[in-house]
Structures are given as structure tokens and as C-alpha cells.
Amino acid sequence: MGYKTITVKLPPDYSQAELLAQVAKAEGLRDFSVQIGHQSLDARKKSNIHWLVQLAVLSPELAGESPSFAAPLQIPSRTRREKALVVGSGPAGFFAALVLQKAGFATTLIERGAEVRKREAGIQAFEQSGVFDPFGNYAFGEGGAGTFSDGKLTSRTKNISQEKTFILESYVQAGAPPEIHYLARPHLGSDNLKVMVANLRAEFIRIGGTMLFETMLTDLQVEKGRVVAALIERGGGQELIEADQYVIAPGHSAHETCRMLMARGVAFRPKNFAIGCRVEHPQAIINLAQWGRETLPGVKAAEYRLTSKGDGHLPVYTFCMCPGGMVVPATAYAESNIVNGMSLYRRDGGFANAACVAGLSLNQLLGREVSALESLDWLGSLERSFYEYGGDYRAPCCRIADFIHGKALPEGTAKIQSSYPLGLNPAPLWELLPSAVSATLREGLKEFCRKVRGFETGLIMGLESKTSAPIQVLREDDGRCCGFENLYLAGEGSGYAGGIISSGTSGIKAAQRIAGA
């Protein structure tokens, strides 16, 4: 059986029959099979938008040998007497727990929020009543913050092919579409994720793992650099869980967990992060700007990724763009107000949204050296100030044009529609943000308006403060927290990862180190 890799151009709404016909014509083959290796949309010319599809073609009519595939992730599985406790059920925590259980540890995974269906009900009640649910919200609960997101699976992290393949294959087995293996910008959609995290939980329990929801880590007992027990709170009571190894994957929002770790001697340092707002447009405007038409059969919705030097002091960029999605109230705590984006797999909603943020160094912004604890305090205070502005969870907002001019224009926001479920509160956002951030965002937005036709007509809202954690844990070369024998921090809360793939990889690597891989 011969083998060849080729790349073909196909229309946006191509069929399998068209793909096969293209291969047969291009290579002069009659007996062959194909497998898609990579697929990306080329929209550089609006008059000729097409897919670039890289294919592995196998045929007895071709010369050459079949390809060799990379070895799968090797998990050192054996009978063990050791126990492992993993905190946090986002990608980092879940995949750490899954690998540890497969490696032979008796693994318990605890999650401060609710299981996914109860969590979904809490979110729906919050959006209808404005009453915040600490167990069922967009930040905490089964699957972590990513469960209610666009579910993007892109990552810039290098040398993680085995871990990435393991994550993707786990997702496919849990119900994800197989296309996530080859699309250039794969995503899962929150509707798929809600099903998948429940299926992943069932698999973890099937192989012997224990999972506890609405279970909060409140303290650690430490003796001579070794964690000997974790104090947890659930059902109104407290109890100790003893384990041999501990992995904490708190996500970027569990600030009180980070404060507890600091109090127990875990060393953190401040790191650069980003804050800003979320911009929203009717999806048709973005489609028209990117494609030259309002719809494109075969493609769900147009995307964008924009960068700017801003005013030269802070960089400005868009992040976590959600085509056909909605803006959601993503606060982790009552009486704080932040926003984020979410979309379903079909991306067929009427709006497009994205974070529009400025990267910053808090040391430079404040003109002094700031500790990790001060970084958390500063960010938490900013998030509370956006709630205090209106005294509720409405999103402070204005038009992008208002923000650029630094004043409310006559049109105002009265006629602007939005996907945000808790209502809008017209506000001078440029006054609510730190002045340096507002200044650089203003310059970045001007540039984005030049790049994307109609961008200035959109809405800018709320505080977007969760692009990454503002602090980073200090780690030994083998990944352990500095000064600890058996404690690992993983995922976005560690300050070394961001997004589903890199966070999941972070958890896998911690588990592999513990297991001796």
C-alpha cells in the first residue's frame, strides 16, 4: 500500500464526494482512501474563499510506505497503595486526576462547584433573577470555566503532541466531533461540553476514581515541607482528606484558595496579565467585513483576531473571540461584575463578541513593586468597582465610538441590542478602567476600526479580567511547588497555562511526574 500527502483546495461547502473527486483527478487514482490531516480556511481573497485541506492518501497505485504515527502518551500503570487528591475539575484538574487514576493511584477529585446539570440550573436562575449562586456559576463547577465557553482547542505551547492527542482523543470518546483532530481552529461549543464533562466524569468513576462536588478546599496541613492532609468543607461540615500526593488546579478565579496557599508557605510572584472589556457586534457585520457577504455556506461564522501596539506603552489585542455567541456574566463571587464570552457548537447566534484587552505589568502601572497578594487584592477591587457602579450585575457599557471619543455620542446605547442576559447599564467605561488602560485601549480600538469595516458601530461592555492569572507559583525543576515534597499547582491558576489544551497538558504533566513517567 503506497502513501502520499497532498493539499487540495475545496469550496467552503464541499462534500465528501467532491473531496474524493478532487483527489482522483489530481493524482489519477481509482483505488484509494484518504484521511484529513489538517484543514484551514483561506479567506485572504473575498472573491475566492476556500478550504485548504491536507490529506493522507493511501493507494496500491502509489509508491512509498505508509506513514508511521507518533507513540501515544505512555502512562506508567501499576498496582500502588498511594492516594492522590486533586482539587478543581477544569481541564488541568480533571486530566491530572484521570492520568493518576490510570497510573494506579486511588484518586479523589474535588470540585467546589456543582455537577454540570445542577450548575446549569444555577446559571439559568442567576440570569433570570440576578441572584448569584456560589455553586452554580460561570466560573466554578464541573469542567471549570471552560464548560461554559466557546471550547477553543488551539494552543501555542510547543512539544505537547502526546498530551494534546490524549486530550483530544478523550474528548472524542466523550462525544466531541472527530474534526477537532484536524481543523486549524477547532472548538467544542458549550452545548457539547456540558455533555462531554459528564461523560468524562462517568469514565473517571468507572475506572475507580472518586469525585466530590460542592466540596471546598479550605486549608492544608503541612509538616516539614510535606502536605499531610487537606481540610475540606462540604454539606455544611468540615473533614480531613489524607493523601500521599496533592495536585491543586484552582483556575484563575479562586483567589481565596491562592491566599490560603500563600499563608501555608506556597510562594507566588506577580506576573503580567491583561484587562479590558468585551466588544460585541451583530454577527452579520463581522461576516460582511471578513467575507464580503453576510453568510458563507459551509462555514459557521466569521472570526477575527486583532492586535495593536495601542499607544506604544501597553499592547492591545482581542482574545477568546466567540462567533455567533453571547456575552455572559462570569463573576466568580457575589457583588463583583465581570463578563466573558460563550458560544454553542453551531455558532449560529446573532452576535459576535471578543475580549478587547491591554496587556500590563502591575508594577509599571502602579509605579512600585507589587507582591502577589497585592495583585490579587488590586484585581478583586477593580472587579467589585464595576458592580458598585450600578449596584447590580448589569453590564456597564457604551458604544465603541463613545469610548474612542471619550464621551457619550447623541445616539447613545438606547437602540443597541445585546446578547448579555442581565441587561446593560450605560456608563463611561473609560472612567471605570485605569486611565493608562483606557488610553491604550482607545488607540487600539481606532486601529481595529480601520482593519474591520463597521467595528466602530459595536458595543463595548463590562470588565474583562480573566484572560490569565495575575500571579504565578514558584516551581522546582520537576514541577513541584518550591519547598514542598508532594504539592503541585497546575493549569491557569498556576500562572503557566491558559486555555483548555495548555491547562489540560499542565495537569497531565504534573500527574506524569508524580507517577514517575
Alpha helices in 292-434 (DSSP H): 362-366, 372-390, 400-405, 429-432
The CATH number of residue 34's host domain is 3.30.1660
Does 460 lie in the same domain as 318? yes
Least confident of 65-69, 332-336, 368-372: 65-69
**φ/ψ (deg, to 5) at 364:** -70, -40
**pLDDT per position as a tens digit, 103-141:** 999 999 999 999 999 999 999 999 999 999 999 999 999
Note whether 88 and 235 are same-domain residues.
yes
Could you identify the residue written with the cell 458549550? 190
The predicted structure's pLDDT at residue 314: 93
Q: Are residues 354 and 296 in the same domain?
A: yes
pLDDT, residue 411, reads 64
Are both 41 and 12 inside the same structural domain? yes
Cβ atoms of 216 and 112 within 8 Å: the answer is: yes
The reported pLDDT for the residue numbered 412 is 63
Q: Kind of pairing, strands 83-87 and 106-110?
A: parallel
In whole numbers, what is the pLDDT of the chain averaged over residues? 95
In a domain, 366, yes or no: yes
238 CB neighbour count, 10 Å cutoff? 12
CA distance 484 to 66: 48
Domain CATH for 245: 3.50.50.60
Instruction: Note whether 343 and 281 are same-domain residues.
Output: yes
* Domain's final residue, options 446, 464, 482: 464
Residues 308 and 247 in one domain: no
Q: Is residue 339 part of a domain?
A: yes
Percent of the chain at pLDDT above 70? Answer: 98
Query: What percent of the chain has pLDDT above 90?
Result: 93
pTM assigned to the model: 0.95
Range of the domain at 405: 272-464
Helix (H, G, I), strand (E, B) or coil at 492: helix
182: pLDDT strictly greater than 70: yes
The answer to whether residue 124 sits within a structural domain is yes
Q: Is the pLDDT of residue 410 over 70?
A: no
In the chain, the number of structural domains is 3
In terms of domains, do 256 and 322 share one?
no
- Is residue 14 over pLDDT 80? yes
85-114 CB burial, b ≥16 within 10 A, e <16: bbbbbbbbbbbbbbbbbbbbbbbbbbbbbb
What does the alpha-carbon distance between residue 499 and residue 92 come to, in Å, rounded to a whole number? 10
CA distance linking residue 173 with residue 145, whole number of Å: 21
